[in-house]
Amino acid sequence: MENESEPYVRLASLRMLHHVVAQLNTARSLADTLQTVADGVVEGLGFEIAAVNLVRADGDLVVAAVAGSPAAEAMMAGRVGSRASWERRLTMGEQWGVLRFIPHTEGWVLDGDDVPQWHTPGRAPRFSDEWHPMDRLFAPLYASDGELLGVLSVDKPRNGRRPGAWGCEALQMYASQAAIAISNARLRSNMQRALVRLEREQQALRASEESFRQAFEYAPSGMAVAEMGGDQHGRLLRINDALCRLLGRPASAMRRYSFSDLVHPEDIGTLLRTSAEGGRAELRLARRDGSYVWVSLRNSVVADAADGPRYLLTHVEDIEDRKRHELQLAHRASHDSLTGLPNSAELRARLKSRLCAQPGLAGRTAGT
C-alpha cells in the first residue's frame, strides 16, 4: 500500500480504519474486545501478527489476545512481562509519534528480558525500509487520563516494508480508538461485576432477613423489637406470637405500648436501670386480664453501619414458676410454719431496716 500514490494510500487507509474501528464500537465483553483489537490490526492495517498486552492490577502486562498466527498465540497467550521490561522497551529505539519502533540492530539487547515475543531469524535487509524479522513496533494504549492500559505490538507487514507515514498514522489512530474501546469494555465489565456482587449481597440480605423473621416469629420465648431514640423511644414495633400469648394481648394492641407502659409500678426503677446493650432484668409485666407475670428481659442493640443504633431487640422469658417458687422459699425462711407470722429473724431484719432508715432513732436506741 505504501508504494501506491499518496491519495490512494490515504483513502484506502481511512476505509480500512473505519471498518476495523466500527468493529471495536460493538458492545462486547473485555476479552472479546481485546481479541477484536488484535484481529483488527491483522484484518485492516496490513500486519500479519498482532498481540494485545494488557496491564494487570499489579502493573505487569499479560498477553491477553493474539491474532494472525496460531503458533505465536500458543507461545505467548497468557504469559506475563514485567512493567519494568515494558517501560524499558517504550523508551528505546525510535519514536514515531506515539509509536515506538526498535530496529533489529538495537533490539538484540531485549532477547533476554521477560516480555513474551514471537520472532524468527532472517537475513539482513536489502534496502533501508525493508522489515527485518527482529524489528519491533509498539503502540501504547493510553486512557483519557494518561493511564497506560496496555501495549499493542505488531509484526510482519504484508508488504515487507516498515510502515510509511500514513501507515503509522493509521496505526496511531487505531490505537487511540482501541484504548477507548478497552476502557469502555473494562467499565462495562466492572459494572457487571458490581451488579452481580450487589445482587448476591441482596440475596444474602434477603436470606438473612428471612432467617431472622423465622427465628423471631417462631421463637419459643417472647421477642420484641422497639424503637431507640426520638419521640417514640421504646415503642414496640414488632412482637412475636410467644410474647402475645404470654401477655394475652394481640400484636396490634401491643404496638401501642412500650415495656414501661406494661411493667409493674414497683419494677419501673429496675426497667429504667437496665442497659440497652446486654442489659438483663427480672420484673413483672401486666397481662390483659390485669394480672402480672414474672419475666426475664435481655436486651441487645440492632445497629445500622451508617446511622448507628437503630432498634432494641428484647428477649422475654417466662420465669413465673421459678419466681413463685423462690418467693415461697423466702416466705418459709422468714415466717413461722404454724402461725404464718414473721419469725424472729424476719422481725430483726425489719427492725434493722427501720433503724437504718432513721439514723437518729438508731442512736437513741443504742444509748438506752
Do 179 and 283 lie in a common domain?
no
Our count of domains for the chain comes to 3
Residue 211 domain-assigned (yes or no): no
Backbone angles phi, psi at 66, to 5 degrees: -135, 140
Do 305 and 335 lie in a common domain?
no
> How confident is the model at residue 18, as a pLDDT?
66
Residue 366 domain-assigned (yes or no): no
Could you tell me the three cell numbers for 36? 477484536
> How confident is the model at residue 153, as a pLDDT?
95
CATH code of the domain in which 170 resides:
3.30.450.40
Residue 209 domain-assigned (yes or no): no
> How confident is the model at residue 26, as a pLDDT?
76
How far apart (Å, rounded) are the C-alpha atoms in residues 278 and 276?
Answer: 6
> How confident is the model at residue 45, as a pLDDT?
86
Which residues lie below 8 Å from residue 309, measured CB to CB, with a gap of 6+?
Answer: 228, 229, 276, 301, 302, 303
Residue 13 domain-assigned (yes or no): yes
Nearest to 173 by CA among 10, 48, 2: 10
Domain that holds residue 136: 6-192
> How confident is the model at residue 347, as a pLDDT?
63
Do 40 and 130 lie in a common domain?
yes
Do 55 and 106 lie in a common domain?
yes
pLDDT in tens, 145-169: 999 999 999 999 988 999 988 889 8
User: Over the chain (368 residues), what is each successive 10-residue block's mean pLDDT?
Assistant: 55 65 77 92 90 96 95 94 94 94 85 83 79 92 94 93 88 91 90 92 90 91 90 90 95 93 94 82 94 94 71 93 81 65 66 65 48
> How confident is the model at residue 67, as a pLDDT?
95
> How confident is the model at residue 365, as a pLDDT?
47
> How confident is the model at residue 17, as a pLDDT?
64
How far apart (Å, rounded) are the C-alpha atoms in residues 20 and 174?
Answer: 8
CATH code of the domain in which 312 resides:
3.30.450.20
Q: Record the pTM.
A: 0.60
Can you give 275-320 as a three-state secondary structure string?
Answer: CCCCCEEEEEEECCCCCEEEEEEEEEEEEECCCEEEEEEEEEEECH
Do 134 and 17 lie in a common domain?
yes
Do 129 and 39 lie in a common domain?
yes
Do 337 and 314 lie in a common domain?
no
Residue type at 188 in one-letter notation = R
Q: Residue holding cell 507487514? A: 157
**Quick one: how far is CA 181 from the chain centroid?**
26
Do 118 and 185 lie in a common domain?
yes
Does residue 244 contact residue 236 with C-beta atoms inside 8 Å? no
Question: DSSP string of 89-131?
Answer: HTTSSEEETTEEEE-HHHHGGGTTSS--------PPPSSTTBP
